Amino acid sequence: MQKIRNIAIIAHVDHGKTTLVDKILHSCAIFREGQDTGDLILDNNDLERERGITIVSKNVSVMYKDVKINIIDTPGHADFGGEVERVLKMADGVLLLCDAFEGAMPQTRFVTQKALSLGLKPIVVVNKVDKENCRPEEVYEQIFELFFNLEATEDQLDFEVIYGSSKQGWMSTDWKKPTDNIFPLMDAILANIPPAPVAEGTLQMQITSLDYSSFVGRIAIGRVARGTIKENMPVSLVKRDGKIQKSRIKELYTFEGLGKVKVSEVKSGDICAVVGIEGFDIGDTIADFENPEQLAVIKIDEPTMNMLFTINTSPFFGKEGKFVTSRHLRDRLYKEMEKNLALKVVETESPDSYLVYGRGILHLSVLIETMRREGYELQVGQPQVIIKEIDGVKCEPVETLIVDVPGDVAGKVIELVTQRKGDLLVMEPKGDLQHLEFDIPARGIIGLRNNVLTATGGEAIMAHRFKAYEPWKGTIPGRLNGVLVSMDTGKTTAFAIDKLQDRGRFFIDPGVDIYEGQVLGEHIRDNDLVINLTKGKQLTNMRASGSDTNVRIAPAIKFSLEESMEYIQADEYIEVTPVSIRMRKIFLNENDRKVNAKKFVNQ
């Protein structure tokens, strides 16, 4: 048997996966003495570092006791489940991390279900046992129950448990007896995860990931399932639909530490990167030149939400971005589809607009934020859930929502969720918090997080995952208040904002350029109000005693991209440029809005 182990690290968001990979890299002496590496080494793009989450799965490898361990770090957020689904195909076992206080969370269930159904051997790591009021034994029982409910095999139920703290850099088989290193975990990997199997025969390798280099172009990454892949070897590329393209491999790389090392051949069981193959997609099979055999195509859960992406048509079009045409937008969206399997792009009747299907608000907002940073200008519409007809019944996606809140504000959360057609299923104490579980339509979750955090003073912990398609639950009330809409194009003045403060709360500061139809604030009533913020004070050469009062303006409310996506209604767009995020009405002119008002009533 060859000395290779392939493991994926899976967990709910923020349970410590990337921190654990850091400690494994350090303890296996990947870095030279005194090298400054920083924290969260694998979260290497700006968005991942800012948000503190993993978005794209990464591969690294370490050597431990003469065994090569390939480690795949996966995202923990439900919206990036597509990443997890495809990379698990490269693993023979999984490390399931679980927070010693929070226990099994919605995403823990989702990723565990995927891993168990693929027959992977699990090792459970109960992490963060250094936390106050942690409950490692209870969490172990909870995980066992979860495995049982997910119909794990007897071999999978007989899992090894390791306790420890990734942050403090120790692991142990007994949480009351801390060690000073993470080697107990590494020993458990060697003892429990099966070695990568050697399969003789003709070549088979499935492409499960992509990389890109400005020197050699697109690079295919995957695990060799059978046979041996060699440099300069002619191969067949079997597409998802069964079509076959002939190709040749130029270069081969395996993963070593954080980088790649060029090799002449790779045997079955190891993970490698292939250069030189053109026109491939994730899920395609690299097979023998003369007798190509296809591997089973990766199945990805369908998207549950869509948004309209269109070119920027505001009066400020082209002032802040580099890529502004519909051709730029189309090319960028189709390029994203190559590597983002859970994403789908559909062309609409208009040549300037595209419907983009994704897993949720975060999944789509990360794409928009990435495009914005690359210099794109675009507009996006209100997120809509995907409705299906099943056996003649109109059905919509329903999610399981879990909220942990202090007991004294649990009532407010229940009220907010039930207003949005949520059903309370579980209410039980969890430490000093109240643990609530609901079934709620996916439509009801859009815009809910802000309201819950406001009602609980920011103390609620929310998580949700897709459950199933269920019959339509009826209309859900949208935004309670109307908005303040600009009447004119120009610069805002402090004088005008001061005079209109009793009409609502503003989203913009004085001295900002605005245009007619832009959403400037929230009205105190439920209807929209058209206002003029560009009006200055009438100046005369006479001083009136007592009328020159100081202008006192409340700070403007600043929305993040996700908050804007949850805030807008069907008759509004978000204008996204590299510099600004503005909310606006689809019809900028007030008369046009009145004429077209009926279009949006039933949405």
Give SS3 for 550.
coil
Q: Is 266 annotated as a binding residue?
A: no
Compute the half-sphere exposure of residue 187: CA atoms within 13 Å on the CB side of its CA: 9
Give SS3 for 32.
coil
Q: Is 129 annotated as a binding residue?
A: yes
Q: Is 18 annotated as a binding residue?
A: yes
Q: Is 128 annotated as a binding residue?
A: yes
Instruction: Give dist(CA 373, CA 378) in Å, integer.
Output: 12
For 574, residues 6+ apart whose C-beta sits below 8 A from its C-beta are 379, 380, 561, 564, 565, 568, 581, 582, 583, 584
| Residue 21 parent element (H or E) | helix 17-27
Q: Write the DSSP assignment of 200-220 as a string of letters.
A: -SS-EEEEEEEEEETTTEEEE
Instruction: Give dist(CA 31, CA 258) in Å, integer.
Output: 10
Instruction: Give dist(CA 398, CA 470) in Å, integer.
Output: 6
Contact 305, 359 (CB under 8 A): yes
> 393 pairs with which residues across the strands?
390
Q: Is 15 annotated as a binding residue?
A: yes
Contact 532, 487 (CB under 8 A): yes
For 455, residues 6+ apart whose C-beta sits below 8 A from its C-beta are 409, 412, 413, 416
Compute the half-sphere exposure of residue 401: CA atoms within 13 Å on the CB side of its CA: 29
Give SS3 for 229.
strand
| Residue 493 parent element (H or E) | none
Instruction: Give dist(CA 166, CA 128) in Å, integer.
Output: 7
Q: 410-419 vs 448-455: helix axis angle to the nearest 10?
A: 160
C-alpha to C-alpha distances, 328 to 354, 375, 377, 380, nearest whole angstrom: 12, 11, 10, 15
For 478, residues 6+ apart whose C-beta sits below 8 A from its C-beta are 569
Q: Is 488 annotated as a binding residue?
A: no
Pair type for strands 423-430 and 393-406: unpaired
> Which residues contribute to the annotated binding site?
14-19, 127-130
> Which residues contribute to the annotated binding site for GTP?
14-19, 127-130
